[in-house]
Chain A
Amino acid sequence: MSIKVIMVLVTLYFLGAFVFGASMTYPILNKKILDREAVEVFNGIILYIFFFELILRFFLQQLPVTNIQTLILLPFKKRRIINNVLFRSVFSGFNTTPLIIYLPFAISMYRDDYLGTQVVAWWMALLLTTLCLNFLIYIINKNNLYFVLLLAVVAATVALYLYTEFDLGHMTGALFDAVVAQPQLVGFFIFPLVLSYALVFYFLKRGFYMDAGLAKTKTAVQTGDYSFLNFLGEDALILKNDLRMIIRNVRPRQVVLMSFLFLFYGLIFFTQDIYRKQDFVMVFAGLFVTGGFCLTFGNYVPAWDSSYYKLLMTQNISYKKYLLSKWNLMVFVTAISTLLSLPYLYFGWDVMGIIIAGSLFNMGLNTWTTLFGGLMNKTPMKLNVKAKAFENTQSFSLNQFLLIIPKMVLPVLLYWLPAKFMGPTAGYLSLAGAGMLGIVFKNQLADWVTVLYLKQKHETIEAFNK
């Protein structure tokens, strides 16, 4: 119950943050860029918002086809079922951008000196485009090739903008500028929507058989040879399996991709002078840059193995070895992330120092804290199904919430206290040292977590069996 309350509060907070952020955008844009209207500036970047939205949708949004499967034998016309599914998809959480981002902006426009018709037309144009993206994604979703195509278009747009006069973002913006200038033009935005709807409708109708569009896609086998890992001896066994799990299943791939995105976290913080002076922001950012995989993957150990947990529990594997193998994987990826984050050196040694210290802290301690937290995560994992938006929160518990203290608050203190009295170097050393302790005492920590794991063995098996 208390968890639900926290979840609602967290959601409200983010909603509020978005709405507030969007409302603030207008005055900021209005003040800073004097020679252009705020709306024009916003319209100029709208294409990138759409791109970002499409990519996000690709990874998270799914057409509720499972519902089709139950309807297919019942006496409904195909058209009706498809229309129904598509209609319901409109109410997906992904279509809230018009409400939480564009609407506050539109209200600010109205409070400035735009006419009601102008504002409404502009907002309607964005709403119609968002819905168009909503339908397009179901086509993109079915085929990775389309996604590659999308990425190519994004890359081409950016390249053209950087190296030539051709600015697609500006051209898209001009369409929306035109709507502001002549509100009746919004009528034209109906066409792409109708077209995308028709396309996806046709697409679904053509594949309306259990063995075609509705079938679970069978994947071609990737027979990677992992024998190069054999030098690790027995440790290689679970590691090999984990690599296969990550490569061959949708959900873990998503996690790896997300953790890759964590690498760019620093760009938000290290580029701003306001943040550079805030110790706690620097520590957070430093931890996040390299901690993406460790924090997200570890959180689902042992849930990753939930579908064959009984096998692991009856086979000849000691729990400690199992845990250490997961730990090794997390440390390894964190180390790779650290290497990949070397370009941050561009922002100065203070940034690099916090990233390396944070990375050591992630390897030594956050790994264990996350593994401990993962144990409380007793929701069985469907490996080959995309996570729905906010699905991660289903297994959110108060205990995991409290783990933020050792994961995030502790490192801030470890840095801040010595840094305050003895300078930043002492802060780096203290943070890194704590992490090193975790690496040195990994066997003791593993023993300790193993005891906890064994205590919960039966409870976990039962939960995963559902």
Chain B
Amino acid sequence: MIQLNSLSKKYEEAIVLNVDKLSIDKGEHFGLVGNNGAGKTTLFSLILDLIQASSGNVTINSIEVAKSEAWKKDVAAFVDDNFLIDYLTPEEYFEFIANLRKVDSAALNEFLQQFDAFFNGEILDQKKYLRDFSKGNQKKVGLAASFIGDPSIVILDEPFANLDPSSQIRLKSFLASEGNKDKTLLISSHDLNHVTDVCERIVLLEKGNVIKDTPKSPKTLKELEAYFSGQ
């Protein structure tokens, strides 16, 4: 479904990402871990064609992302604040995304109901613009919005960061829920616990290289912890 072919990204002489071959299957929940500067955001940005690859390419459903825009209808992402329109209220923002994804307002309302607990009564009907929400609540809006219109691929960079503990747990159970079984999820995180809970395949990046690429097993968390503590 998503194919990376000898993909690399260089700034000046520094190589920030260098992946020979990586394919992510349909319905796979793909977890990306690594320290700061490992290249996680770079990898996602390349998949989303937000930055230009120095060599190689990315294809989504056999469409080369840098050549055509046809992949956009299948993909949704929440990478950072630049995915929020800060002068809209959450309702207006959801409506904007829903319009783009051809979801009518009845379907949108129904879709949003499943986030009642996650939103914790702090998102809807607040009569506030997104710019006046806290970081954590902004994030909730962005995360929920990226599932509007049932995209088959969802890319989330650090979805757990800035969320309070209850919200982290609710997000995890949402990601693992039945409705997302068939979705291809790409999730990066610093939190090894969360990422191993949600994902069935873990890829570990370091300095732009894939160090480890394993299906999740009961041992994965231990191995990752050992790796990051330098043993």
Contact = CB atoms under 8 A, between A and B. Distances in A.
Contact of B87 (A248, A315, A317): A248
Nearest to A236: B99
Contact of B82 (A237, A244, A308, A383): A308
B127 interface: yes
Interface stretch (A191-199, A216-224, A279-287): A216-224
A219 B85 contact: no
Nearest to A241: B96
Interface string A212-241: 000000111101000000000000010001
Q: Which of A237, A311, A313, A383 has the most CB of B within 10 A?
A: A311
Interface string B19-58: 0000000000000000000000000000011111000000
Contacts of B87: 244-245, 248-249, 383-384
B167 to A, nearest CB: 22
Contact of A221 (B86, B97, B129): B129
Nearest to B102: A316
B132 interface: yes
Label chain A's interface by main secondary structure: helix
Contact of A310 (B80, B89, B99): B80
A315 B80 contact: no
Contacts, number: 79
Interface residues of B, number: 33
Interface residues of A, number: 31
Contacts of A309: 82
Contacts of B97: 315
Contact of A315 (B89, B100, B127, B132): B100
B132 A218 contact: yes
Interface stretch (A18-26, A402-410, A457-465): A457-465
Given A307-B82, A308-B85, A311-B83, A218 B128 contact: yes
Given A221-B127, A307-B86, A237 B51 contact: no
A314 interface: yes
A461 B51 contact: yes
Interface in B129-147: 129, 131-132
Interface of A: 218-221, 223, 237, 241, 244-245, 248-249, 307-311, 313-319, 383-384, 457-458, 461-462, 464-465
In order of increasing CB-CB distance, the 8 nearest A-B pairs are A310-B82, A311-B83, A458-B52, A248-B87, A221-B127, A308-B85, A316-B72, A316-B73
Given A245-B87, A308-B86, A314-B72, 15 more contacts: A218-B128, A218-B132, A219-B129, A219-B132, A237-B100, A307-B81, A310-B48, A310-B79, A310-B82, A313-B50, A314-B76, A316-B100, A318-B69, A384-B87, A457-B49
